[in-house]
Structure 1
Amino acid sequence: MWSTYDDYYKWLLSQNTTPGDMRLLFGLVPAYPVFMFLGICLVILVTAIQMNRRKVPLRELEIGILIIVPIGIIGGTFFGKVFLPNYQSWSNFYKVFFFWQPGMSFFGALLLGSAAGFGWFYKRSKVTQISMWVYLDLILVNILLGHALGRWGNLYNQEILGNPVSYESISWMPNFIKHRLFYFPNLMYYENSLEPGRHIYDDPLWFKSIYSNGILNLSITNNWKHIETGETLTELLTNKSLFQYRSPLFLIEGLGNIILWLLITFGVRNINRFSNKKNNPWSLQPEAYPSFWNPKFKSISEKKLIDWYTLAPVKYRKVKITNEDGESYELTMSLRSVWNKAYYWVEPDYESNKKLFSQIEEWRSDLYNATLKYQSDKKQFKIKLEKMKNEFNKKYKFTKSNLQEELKTQYKNNVTLEKQKMKEKQIEFNNKFSFGQRYLGVNPYGKELEKANNPNGFIVTRCGVSAGSYILGYGILRTILETQRQATEYMIPNHVVVNFLVLSLIILTGIFIIVMTQFVIPYKWREIGWLYEKTY
């Protein structure tokens, strides 16, 4: 195809187009904001579908969109441009908010957008009694789809490209892709030697002015020189080693995002359907779960089926059975329906939850009263010490010198005694209520509550694990792909060490969230009447 930038600009002239036109979708509108908008719409659409399936009200999402999207865009454009040299002068600083221009940081958008979303959904969760982790699971994971779609905008901006490759290796790709798989030369620092202070971009049609009848005009291009290296524009445009096709890293990352979304959506969220090999529903009660996986009952007659009330109707499928008595219809279930009936849609045991609720409320009342009493005792303790000090000072002035030492000793002993009494009260209070219960909201009946809502001890994926898997998975994917990026396209541009340290922190954060939401939070921070991976 092309071997130099000179070849490329000649092709643009032959097509009667400009470098800026390469960033337009269908030659009409800038592609980047279009794909960004479509990506956001895709995230909202898939999230709304999934929330509707889980019977989660959409009102919070609708308002959240108006908060999260603008703040996310501001974060993306700010962090994507603020580290670049051409935006660090005050005259250009305002352009860091031009989100339609190249230089959007996905992590910047995720950071500010997630912070805004966290605050909004955390506040609303107290009203809706839907765990914040449920919202995060339903929204964060779907960002992968929007991100994959939005990456096509990077193609039109000719950014997020990988290592140099030969043209033959990408020749099979459509023209609209392979014609953009190289970086534009940075001509910002080229100045006219005959007119000092005049830069090449001062003329919007500069690339047309350097050609005469389709041939490079050397008398013009030799006058344009790099202000630091002295390299002429002629050398830049004709040097074959400077024009390099590159791998479509944006496409690789997009495909990686889609694969990660599939793994989390259909893998991580359904671990329980494949991990309970011995302790599974059809082993515990074969007549209740006729299915392909049930060795005793692949299907069962409606009369023999053991059924009970669930929070939503369980779907059964009728199958025709032929036997010695003739043809008849029996019921069978999908694996999804099996787990809905066995766990997700099981109505919590009323008596157990009522008893637990009473115990929890009684404990909370005790904690509240004990806290008030302890705070009152501390206040009275300080008042008493102050009173004892004032009385001591008065007596000390009117006490004979030979008795002053005795009075001082008596005062110290009384203060020590009062402090010892207060210390005993503190120890008693701390022994009755742990630090986590007092300050972190730990529910001491968390294990009993979990057992009441999962009496069979099924292995299930807890809410929050999907969100943690997204952070972990994308952190790993981005770390791998970061090794092929230009330094200017790092998450933190031009800061290699800091960039990879932050990526490592993101990976560790993902691991931490998975461990906490799967193994700790379900046993310490859950409440009756709330929606988690199921309704408690």
Structure 2
Amino acid sequence: MNIKKFKFNKIAFDFKRDKIKWISIGLWASLFIVVIVLFSVFWTTKNVIWTQGNSFSEPVHWGGIESSYGGIAIYPMAMTLGMIVAILFTLYKFWKKGLNVTELSIGIAICIPISLMGASFFGKLNADAPGVNANGVGFWGLFAFWHAGMAIHGGVYGGLLAGLILFYFVGKKSKTSMLVYADAIVPNILLGQAIGRWGNFFNHEVMGAPVKVVARGIDNQWGTIANVNWDAVETHYKFLPNWISRNLMVEAKTEGFLSNGIHFNQGDLVQLSPIFLYESLSLLAAWLIITFIIPNITKWISKKPWKVESGKYNYKLSFSIKQWFMPWIKSTDEVQSSRDIWNLAYFKNIDEKAKEQYLISLELDRKKYLKPKEINKANKLNDYISTKAGVECFAYFFAWNFVRFFLELSRPDDHLFVMYDKPLSLSLILISALIGLIGMVASQYWLPSLIRKNGYLYEKEYFSLN
């Protein structure tokens, strides 16, 4: 028996031909195992049960770090700046994919207000205590996003629901998959979140569990929150500048234990962990991976068009690098970048021979060949490998919730996604992350055989039968 080729349950496997596929399946399986192990280990070892509310004072305000200056509040400014940056990069993604910018402006006008109301609803719900909304507001007061109290999960899922409905109908008119719009828009939310977390810093919020007693409260030698004797205070986060580290210190109002089990007394000055900073940097790194690595990783392992059709293209690595930093410059007949060659050879190219053969097959068995699986097969130009539509969108939900899960473990019970219910909060975040991970796999391998239509734009332009 030839071990390189065999049949099992009428399905033929050619290991030489499908080597890349099996390598990718192995990598996906490894990723799933690593993620599940990390979730399990951290859930049992890093989970800290604590409440910030009446247990600690307002943090130290050192170096002029305040929530507002002359009536100008920093938090809404940071959130607004984050949204502007996210929108600007989304405009770039629309330009790169050849999408209509008017459709984006409609989406912004509809989705952002709904997103803000969703964030306000979940941020104020049970915020003061179980069953007690922020400032005691009633049902309609939960939607008042111009007042303090916002939860990012409510904002994302509210905006997502509105966007799904809107771009489903927009996509039917423009013959563009809803997943294409999602890939162009959703990952850039990470930029808004990363910038917005600095608004939390100026508000002196989104801090993790207490990690060290930096000054004992015996005889009140370290002073008061408003007037700290810094000579009596230890430096815990030596890698952080003082303007960050010192604004993470609070006075203990009760006795308790640090995350490492060390006891602290009432009146001690305690250092909290800077999870706002960890989240900001982690989400920025996730955005870079989703934006620049995930769309290109398949091209790195795929056959190269300039090698498959040698002599047709004038590929130059140095020009490709130059265009990466200056995306507005164009290729010429003398020199071409990998990006422009991929567009010419695959993303904006139609395999006319495959189209002719598909039309012949359609005449023989129209019912069979109008199925998404056959449409997808007919559009696999030269068997090039590409990141499929939807992967980037689902990667956002995986990366965001992956980061949030680990940080949620050290957040106080009165600052959780689901207030005062950490097991439920962690469970929902875990489910969201796993849905994102499964969605990435489904978008790459399963959805192309389930939802493709002729004449629509997905990861590439699919040929039209008109």
Q: Common fold, TM-score beyond 0.5?
A: yes
Residue 282 of structure 1 is aligned with which of 306, 317, 320?
Answer: 306
Matching of residue 22 in structure 1 with residue 66 in structure 2: yes
Q: C-alpha displacement at 1:452, in angstroms?
A: 2.9
Structure 1 match to 2:394: 468
Counterpart contact for 1:161–1:182, Cα < 8 Å: no
* Partners of 2:193 and 2:201 in 1: CA distance: 13
Counterpart contact for 2:362–2:370, Cα < 8 Å: no
Q: C-alpha displacement at 1:489, in angstroms?
A: 1.9
Give the secondary structure class of the aligned counterpart of 1:447: helix
Counterpart contact for 2:207–2:411, Cα < 8 Å: yes
1:66-215 paired onto structure 2 within 5 Å: 66-86=109-129, 88-89=131-132, 92-94=136-138, 95-163=141-209, 164-165=211-212, 166=214, 167-170=234-237, 173-174=240-241, 176-182=243-249
Structure 1 match to 2:105: 62
Q: Using a 3 Å threshold, how does the CA distance of structure 1 residues 172 and 281 change in structure 2: closer, same or farther?
A: closer
Matching of residue 338 in structure 1 with residue 341 in structure 2: yes
What is the TM-score when the length of structure 1 is the normalising length? Answer: 0.61
Q: C-alpha displacement at 1:472, in angstroms?
A: 1.2
Structure 2 match to 1:247: 273
Gaps of 5+ in 2: 1-55, 215-233, 255-264, 321-327
* Partners of 1:360 and 1:472 in 2: CA distance: 43
Matching of residue 512 in structure 1 with residue 438 in structure 2: yes
Q: Using a 3 Å threshold, how does the CA distance of structure 1 residues 161 and 530 change in structure 2: closer, same or farther?
A: same
Counterpart contact for 1:282–1:290, Cα < 8 Å: yes
Counterpart contact for 2:57–2:250, Cα < 8 Å: no
Counterpart contact for 1:161–1:250, Cα < 8 Å: yes
Q: C-alpha displacement at 1:526, in angstroms?
A: 1.3
Q: C-alpha displacement at 1:74, in angstroms?
A: 0.9
Structure 2 match to 1:35: 78
Counterpart contact for 2:59–2:247, Cα < 8 Å: no
1:397-412 paired onto structure 2 within 5 Å: none
Counterpart contact for 1:22–1:156, Cα < 8 Å: yes
Counterpart contact for 2:57–2:252, Cα < 8 Å: no
* Partners of 1:97 and 1:87 in 2: CA distance: 18
* Partners of 2:146 and 2:251 in 1: CA distance: 18
Structure 1 residues 488-497 or 115-124, which shifts more?
488-497
* Partners of 1:453 and 1:7 in 2: CA distance: 60
Q: Using a 3 Å threshold, how does the CA distance of structure 1 residues 37 and 360 change in structure 2: closer, same or farther?
A: farther
Q: C-alpha displacement at 1:62, in angstroms?
A: 0.7
* Partners of 2:405 and 2:449 in 1: CA distance: 33
Counterpart contact for 1:349–1:453, Cα < 8 Å: no
Q: Using a 3 Å threshold, how does the CA distance of structure 1 residues 57 and 287 change in structure 2: closer, same or farther?
A: same
Counterpart contact for 1:145–1:261, Cα < 8 Å: yes
1:291-306 paired onto structure 2 within 5 Å: 291-292=315-316
Give the secondary structure class of the aligned counterpart of 1:288: coil
Gaps of 5+ in 1: 187-225, 227-237, 300-312, 319-330, 365-432, 434-442
Give the secondary structure class of the aligned counterpart of 1:244: strand
Q: C-alpha displacement at 1:476, in angstroms?
A: 1.3
* Partners of 2:332 and 2:201 in 1: CA distance: 47
Query: Residue deviations 1:320-347, cap 9 Å, x none?
Result: xxxxxxxxxxx33222223222211213
- How many equivalent residue pairs? 367
Give the secondary structure class of the aligned counterpart of 2:454: coil
* Partners of 2:397 and 2:79 in 1: CA distance: 21
Q: C-alpha displacement at 1:351, in angstroms?
A: 7.9
1:306-455 paired onto structure 2 within 5 Å: 315-316=330-331, 331-349=334-352, 352=355, 356=359, 359=362, 363=366, 444-455=370-381
Counterpart contact for 1:353–1:528, Cα < 8 Å: no
Of structures 1 and 2, the one with the larger relative CO (CA 8 A, separation 6+) is: 2
What is the TM-score when the length of structure 2 is the normalising length? Answer: 0.70
* Partners of 1:357 and 1:147 in 2: CA distance: 51
Q: C-alpha displacement at 1:171, in angstroms?
A: 6.1
